[in-house]
Amino acid sequence: MVFDIGRSLSNYALEMDLWSRLEALPPVASPAEARYAVMVPLYEDRDGFDRIIFTRRPEHMRTHPGDVVFPGGGREGGEGPIDTAKREAWEEIRLPPENVVEIIGGLTPVTTRNRTTLIIPVVARIDRPAELVPDPAEVHSIIEPPIDHLLDEDRWTSRDWYGHRLWFYEFEEGTLWGATAFMVRELLQFLR
């Protein structure tokens, strides 16, 4: 009998839960020039489905109107990226800081269309409160898809955008693309 270690390790990885797979995430980065942070909030719902929280920005926003993004924004005072991500999640969707159960790690800092805007992604396990409340000044809607849907490659498209190959994922509420899609695609690599 031939033992296929690659196949058995792959099957073992698939049986691991989300949280075990994410233990491989690196720590949250904190480059001095980074002035923005976002929270990548993950939770298990009552039915046992792992979910992620996005927001859709209102059309009236000065930057990135209508984009599907993670809760986040600019650092204030002497905040580090974790403090910024927690504060912004509270301000944008009323996720209480005490409901951030664990900071699991970080993803690669990314830029937006403005190449000087470095954003630190903070991946967190949360205890979802009974109600999330979008701040109408910053959030049009809250989107909470099962992570299994994001893992389905058939739901993603890739296309050229001004000479760059970008990923796109369509929700009823809007399109996930750009820097946020880059973050999600990196996160999914830890879950495959």
Q: Which residue has the tokens 């930057």?
A: 63
Q: Which pLDDT value is given to residue 114?
A: 67
pLDDT (tens digit per residue) in 50-93 = 999 999 998 887 777 779 999 999 999 889 999 999 999 999 99
pTM here is 0.88
Tokens of 42: 């993950």
Q: Which pLDDT value is given to residue 111?
A: 87
Tell me the Ramachandran region of residue 163: left when phi exceeds 0, alpha when psi lies from -120 to 50, beta otherwise: left
Please enumerate in sequence order all residues whose Cβ is within 8 A of that of 112, keeping only pairs 6 or more positions apart, or say none: 64, 119, 178, 179
Pairing outcome for strands 118-126 and 36-44: parallel
**Distance (Å) of CA 98 to CA 7, 34, 117, 121, 162:** 40, 25, 28, 19, 42
Determine the average pLDDT of the residues in 123-129: 98
Smallest CA-to-CA distance from 52 within 36, 39, 37 is with 39
Question: What CATH topology corresponds to 19-191?
Answer: Nucleoside Triphosphate Pyrophosphohydrolase (3.90.79)
